[in-house]
Amino acid sequence: MYPYHLQQNPYPSSPTPTEKDAKILGGRRHKEAKAAVLECIKELNRKVEGRSAENGDFRVITVVQDVGSGKTHLALHIKSLKGRYNAECSYVDLSTISPKTIPGIYDAILKGFDNEFFVQLRTKFLNYLRENAEQGDNAAKKALDYTFVNKLTGMTIKEKTEDIITGKQSISVENLTKFLIHKFEYHESILIRNVISNSFDEIKNLETLIGMLSSISRLTHRFLGKILVFEIDELDGNKDSTEFIKGVINAHLPASILLLISTPSGYLEIQNTNPSVFDRLEKANYKIDLAGSNSKDELSEIITEYIKHCDKDGKFGTDEQQELEEKIQVLYDEFTEFRNVRSVINILYQAMEKAMQSNSKKIDENVIDEAITQSYPGLRVRGSIMNIPISDFLTIRRNDIDNEKEIKKAVKSLTIFAQEMGTIQKLEKQNLLLDAVYQDNFGSKVGLAIIANELGIPDLDQISDISKSAIVDKLIILTNKKIRTPYNATVVNIDKAKMVDLIYFNNKYGGKKISEEDNERIEFLAKTLSII
């Protein structure tokens, strides 16, 4: 069983989302973006309801943000909702089409629809033929290959049509073409023939491609009562891609929405290589920028949404959620690698698997450490001198980093260790404001004072008096605050990395786990703090 009593790993394993994975959508920015797209779909549906679609019934939506921000996830999520919002979607990843020829783009658009979409269209088209045939249209009867023999044997036109729908019998393609040419415009008749025969003609130029897309849109609205959403991902400044987009926008496909997905760099490429297309994108009906979708709060909401979706027994409570979010916050703060949706989902998938294998009831620091070691073997804590394991780092960073008492204890232990190593000689303190007094290798009497988060700044004046007195020869102030430098004192800033190093050292020192290979790192840590 997985952590939190889950029956399955809630996170997708694929580095790129699938439509199945995308059914779960978390994060305020993504939900706002979803609402904008759905509003566009609803608005267009209201406009074309009860009438024939016209070329003005066309909308453009742009979605722009960096790699890993969840753009593709959003597009596939919208595609998964098609049944509830009276729309059909075709998702196309332009990066998978090489070269980006007209035939390649058209083929990708057709494959971007679900198979059931064309099944529905085919059924509607054949029933349209049936209705015409039942009304005495001989051309429709010939298209269905409904013969005198069929009539003699008692087969009805409806039965003949049902046999064609189920694949038991076939149509007469030649007669179907003759029937369609008198009922539909040129590209529409080709599309209907292609759909009914399950064989699509190759498209060789942009004009024909636009004609076929217009036909798909118009016929989908007429026969299924739905609008189309063309989702085009990985749009950049590629000449063939931009010319295709320009043609689609200029054509104003009826009852259609063109949803274009790009990165900021790809959007800039379009501006530089094809200003006319860029101008059209700037005039989009909806412009969605997913800025902020990679913030800590957004990532936390996204990762918990996956677990909640699979939490059938309600075992993932407020405490568990807060604890997991705290771990994610540390990862986000300290590792740039985990500042986008894709990377965080990936590491949590791995962590879930590790936790399941070790029968862990939750995602703790150790399983995250194992997952990171496996997926990011070269990853190190930035600025760490002590070469801290990431699991220890996560624990310290989350619990102890702002604890003044822990920092003071760690510094005290470091001075004791330095004495044990023979680099300093500890002396008796003569002032309570000093945390340590010792003699260095040069014979100087050094006073050490720590000003951390919980220590009041007014004490600085008294510490400054010490630096002017003869109590010590040198005064060292370790602080994580911005303070003025007192007379004859050395102020050393303790950043987060040094604080974690100090606490990690103290934990090892207190547990008598200092190894020989640690000595050099500890000595260097003491030097960076000006203790030795």
SS3 label, residue 88: strand
Residue 29's identity, in one-letter code, is: R
Strands 425-427 and 256-262: unpaired
Query: In the predicted model, what is the mean pLDDT of residues 490-494?
Result: 90
344 and 238: one domain? no
State the DSSP code for 502.
H
Which CATH number is 224's domain given? 3.40.50.300
How much of the chain, in percent, has pLDDT values that exceed 70? 98
Range of the domain at 366: 294-379
pLDDT attached to residue 463: 76
- Residue scoring higher pLDDT (467 or 268): 268
Confidence of residue 459 (pLDDT cuts 50, 70, 90): low
Residue 351 has pLDDT above 60, yes or no: yes
In a domain, 17, yes or no: no
Q: Is the peptide bond before 99 cis (omega within 30 degrees of 0)?
A: yes
Burial 20-54 (b: 16+ CB within 10 A, else e): ebbebbbbebbeebbebbeebbeebbeebeeeebe
Both 278 and 302 in one domain: the answer is no
pLDDT of 527 above 80: yes
Asked if residue 161 is part of any domain, the answer here is yes
Residue 4: its pLDDT value, please?
A: 93
Instruction: Say if 226 falls within a structural domain.
Output: yes
Evaluate whether residue 4 is within a structural domain: no
Q: Tell me, what's the pLDDT at 400?
A: 60
Same domain, 46 and 139: no
* Mean pLDDT of all residues in 102-115: 95
Q: pLDDT grade, residue 315 (50/70/90)?
A: confident
Q: Of the candidates 197, 214, 236, which is a domain's last residue?
A: 197
Pair (369, 428) in one structural domain: no
For residue 401, pLDDT over 90 is answered with: no
**Could you tell me if 431 and 454 lie in one domain?**
yes
Instruction: Kindly state whether residues 312 and 167 are assigned to the same domain.
Output: no
% residues pLDDT > 90 (the chain): 62
Query: What pLDDT, on the 0 to 100 scale, is given for residue 91?
Result: 97
Place of tokens 């001075």: 415
Average pLDDT over residues 387-391: 82
Domain check: are 148 and 173 in the same one?
Answer: yes
CA geometry: angle 372, 374, 375, nearest 5 deg: 65
Neighbours of 172 (CB within 10 A): 16
Q: What is the largest CA-CA distance in the chain?
A: 123
Residue 467 has pLDDT above 80, yes or no: no
Domain with residue 513: its CATH number is 3.40.1350
Instruction: Report if pTM > 0.85.
Output: no
Residue with more model confidence, 148 or 528: 528
Q: Structurally, how many domains does the chain consist of?
A: 4
- Mean pLDDT for 103-109 is 96
Q: Is 3 exposed, middle or buried (0-12, 13-18, 19+ CB in 10 A)?
A: buried
The residue written with tokens 């699979």 in the block is 310
Q: Say yes or no to pLDDT of 350 above 70.
A: yes
**8-state DSSP, 263:** -
Q: Grade residue 453 by pLDDT with cuts at 50, 70 and 90.
A: low
Given this model, what pLDDT does residue 382 score?
78
Going by DSSP bridges, is the β-strand pair 286-289/474-479 parallel, antiparallel, or unpaired? Answer: unpaired
150 found inside a domain: yes
When pLDDT is averaged across residues 348-353 and rounded to a whole number, the result is 94
Residue whose tokens read 């709060």:
297
Mean pLDDT of the chain: 90
In a domain, 471, yes or no: yes
pLDDT tens track for 223-270: 999 999 999 999 999 999 999 999 999 999 999 999 999 999 999 999
Are 188 and 254 part of one and the same domain?
Answer: no
Strand partners, 89: 229
pLDDT of residue 244: 96
Q: Which of 342, 363, 379 is the last residue of a domain?
A: 379
pLDDT tens-digit profile of 277-289?
A: 999 999 999 999 9
> 170 pLDDT exceeds 70?
yes
The reply to whether 124 and 47 lie within a common domain is no
* Residue located via tokens 């404001």: 433
**pLDDT score at 6:** 93
State the average pLDDT over residues 391-395. 81
Q: 88, 78 in Cβ contact below 8 A?
A: no
Confidence of residue 455 (pLDDT cuts 50, 70, 90): very low
For the CA atoms of 66, 68, 70, 72, the dihedral, rounded to the nearest 10 degrees, stands at 90
User: pLDDT tier at 486 (50, 70, 90 boundaries)?
Assistant: confident
Question: Which of 230, 261, 289 is the C-terminal boundary of a domain?
Answer: 289
Q: Does residue 398 lie in a domain region?
A: no
Q: Are residues 443 and 523 in the same domain?
A: yes
Residues 519, 427 share a domain: yes
Q: What angle do CA 63, 65, 69 make, to 5 degrees?
A: 105
* Type of residue found at 194: N
Question: Is residue 19 a part of any domain in this protein?
Answer: no
Same domain, yes or no: 442 and 328: no
